[in-house]
Structure 1
């Protein structure tokens, strides 16, 4: 997004896990100034299904996120102590179906069937208010929806890295790297005409750039090399600010993308979600 002469990453994340008795909701959002590295966040943990209704479409109401609408238009208001963003989301173009169908076995294990689709090009406009000053904000968002069972991370050693890459050539990439007993890495690529391909990917973190959170003690890389052989892609990914741990143990970082794609120079942006160790 752009507002007041600066570029911002705006994130709203609503997560509902487990059953009614043992599950929980995490309602979280963040604002990253991609020019200065300034970062603010808010996260709330609530009982399972808190903030959800039985209405059709999106209907989420918590203390830090209000999100309503349908596939044509949505209203999103999210706040941190320093301010709020209040935007209208209008999905454009084609839906991206992860793995080509929207289904894949998480960690390569069929006992964890997961489903995921995205509107990777969402026209976004509204206002951003920080420390009492309001600016018009405009840009493009990626709207992602995923559901399905996951292992009990208290007893199972597993982690993942996920990126939603928007490139200057118009390609959109949903990239997964999951690690448990084995590593499983793959990319779903959507072309500007809506066609999709699914293929091999290689994601290599730069271990020399690790940042350790003072809040959780978890360690996260802050740079990665991404190779997608089927697209002749060699990309470099670098977060705009190190301290983007949205909730303990999970980095949700606004990041820049540079490199080559189809043997041509390319730039882009992504939010990278990575669980720490």
Structure 2
């Protein structure tokens, strides 16, 4: 999504934070998203230090030559202790990276943490480069990128080429997240073709597939009574669908969705149009996690069941969550990615 994760738990106030991972806490002194959303590219591919929370979030559905499915994640999160850039060790910017590879039988995950201002992590807009330590997502422009990451038991080196336009969610990139009006700026590049090599304990695997990159920034994207979210990105046989439901303390949900045609035209759907209902649960480290869902968007005739490729896709990172590839069956066929937070 998206409203996505997690850096606020690195803040000193995290223990008493409201909302999931502190994303519902007040944000005095920071900028807040406003209508109309106005973007400036290439600048907006880079960081926005006057906002508290930001991420560059890429997921990919892959197959090898035998048709075996894999999933891949590369994410860089930025959070700010104060609304400015700063220099050197005085920079208030904190960075966190997550990388993962999912197979039908294993889920490999690792994490990196860094301070801003000292060159250990950061993002530049033109030429585009996002990095933390030796991980990178970089290219001469945002349409053609190379992506690398490594952990104790995996690595990958992938090339990405965009085959369609950028996509803006909500009201032309102004994405509302609650009935109280919390919002973020949110755009995606869901049209990457991807190919490269996974290095796993059993050896190297050449893979191809499609990838989806989310860009989002805000300062208080959740309301204080929201506890987590379930976010879906689906690549279907006749289009793409992004949908999320934000879970609230009283058991209700706030939803939003974007339908994307193959040529990049979009339709945004308001609260209530998109529905996602758990069908079955898996025990994941003692947690009951919904790993099969029924997803509907009546306006597009979507009524599908989605299944986790690997139900054990738990991200055992500083703030734990579930993230993994999914298979789509029903009125439409396809693949996608599912992220679920707040199930600790």
The answer to whether the aligner puts 1:205 opposite 2:205 as a matched pair is no
What is the correspondence of 1:1-277 to structure 2 with a 5 Å cutoff? 1-5=62-66, 6-19=68-81, 24-33=94-103, 36-47=104-115, 51-63=121-133, 65-69=135-139, 70-110=141-181, 112-131=182-201, 133-150=203-220, 156-169=225-238, 171-180=239-248, 183-199=253-269, 200-206=273-279, 208-213=280-285, 218-246=287-315, 247=317, 248-260=319-331, 266-277=332-343
SS at match of 1:276: coil
Change over 3 Å in CA distance of 1:44–1:108 after alignment to 2 = farther
For the 8 Å contact 1:212–1:220, the answer to whether it is kept is yes
For the 8 Å contact 2:281–2:288, the answer to whether it is kept is no
1:263 match: none
Q: TM-score, normalised by structure 1?
A: 0.85
Q: 2:226 and 2:264 mapped to 1: Cα distance?
A: 36
Report the number of matched residues.
263
Q: 2:222 and 2:168 mapped to 1: Cα distance?
A: 26
Q: 1:27 and 1:116 mapped to 2: Cα distance?
A: 19
SS at match of 1:52: strand
- Structure of greater relative contact order (alpha carbons < 8 Å, 6+ residues apart): 2
Q: 2:125 and 2:263 mapped to 1: Cα distance?
A: 33
> Over aligned residue pairs, what C-alpha RMSD do you find?
2.4
Structure 1 residue 259, shift from structure 2 partner: 0.9
Change over 3 Å in CA distance of 1:152–1:72 after alignment to 2 = closer
**5+ residue gaps, structure 2:** 1-61, 83-90
**5+ residue gaps, structure 1:** 261-265
